[in-house]
């Protein structure tokens, strides 16, 4: 199974080599590494690894945490496939059939942006969430979607009614100028980083332009 491990590491030569070696010693295979940011002498990266099960994943995480200068900040398991151009493929699918663009968006966005499920919500005139329009197949239900934030590109904390803990990570993405927004949810795992938000935000702007006349 594929897992995403987000980690912070000292930003100096050899650091990624140490991480790769540690993962290899733990018996996992690296599929992809994404650099999220590099500031103040530290780098924040996502590494996608193939693991046998959650026990194996925990062993990999523990080895990384015990490595000098490495701190694991989040884990997503299982993680969606780590493809290189899934966002462009999603845009192409929406552009090719704009009449069902919102459903295509929620069906494809989870894989494209590393989420478990997605929904499109509508805002009312008071800048508050009004309704849930469409959801992806893995969504636990429209009643599990409660967004209190205004319609702007951001990472939010969303808790389903009756749940004790918020979802691991939730992104709120305007679709064009409004009143629609895409909600991306990671049941467990790291919050959406600003670099991830930028990517999905660009997609939201383009799709909003395409669907505006519909």
Question: Could you give the domains of the chain?
Answer: 2-76 (3.30.70.260), 86-211 (3.30.450.40)
Residue 142 has pLDDT above 80, yes or no: yes
What's the pTM value of the predicted model, to 2 decimals? 0.89
Instruction: State the pLDDT confidence band at 82, using cuts at 50, 70 and 90.
Output: low
The pair of structure tokens assigned to 191 is: 């919050």
Contact 207, 101 (CB under 8 A): yes
Q: What percent of the chain has pLDDT over 70?
A: 97
Strand partners, 34: 46
pLDDT of residue 127: 84
How far apart are alpha carbons 126 and 29 in whole angstroms?
49
In the three-class reduction of DSSP (H, G, I as helix; E, B as strand; rest coil), residue 200 is classed as helix
In the three-class reduction of DSSP (H, G, I as helix; E, B as strand; rest coil), residue 181 is classed as strand
């Amino acid at each position: 199974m594929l897992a995403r491990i987000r980690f912070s590491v000292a930003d100096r030569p050899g650091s990624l080599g140490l991480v790769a070696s540690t993962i290899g010693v733990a018996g996992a295979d690296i599929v992809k590494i994404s650099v999220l940011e590099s500031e103040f002498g530290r780098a924040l990266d996502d590494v996608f690894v193939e693991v046998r099960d959650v026990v194996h994943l925990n062993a990999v995480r523990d080895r990384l945490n015990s490595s000098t200068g490495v701190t694991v900040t989040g884990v997503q398991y299982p993680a969606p496939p780590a493809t290189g151009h899934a966002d462009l493929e999603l845009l192409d699918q929406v552009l090719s059939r704009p009449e069902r663009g919102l459903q295509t968006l929620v069906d494809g966005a989870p894989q494209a942006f590393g989420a478990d499920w997605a929904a499109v919500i509508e805002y009312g005139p008071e800048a508050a969430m009004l309704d849930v329009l469409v959801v992806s197949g893995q969504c636990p239900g429209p009643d599990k979607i409660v967004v209190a934030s205004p319609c702007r590109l951001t990472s939010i904390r969303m808790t389903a009614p009756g749940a004790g803990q918020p979802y691991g990570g939730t992104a709120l993405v305007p679709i064009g100028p409004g009143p629609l927004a895409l909600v991306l949810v990671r049941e467990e795992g790291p919050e959406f980083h600003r670099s991830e938000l930028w990517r999905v935000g660009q997609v939201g702007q383009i799709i909003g332009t395409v669907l505006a006349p519909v």
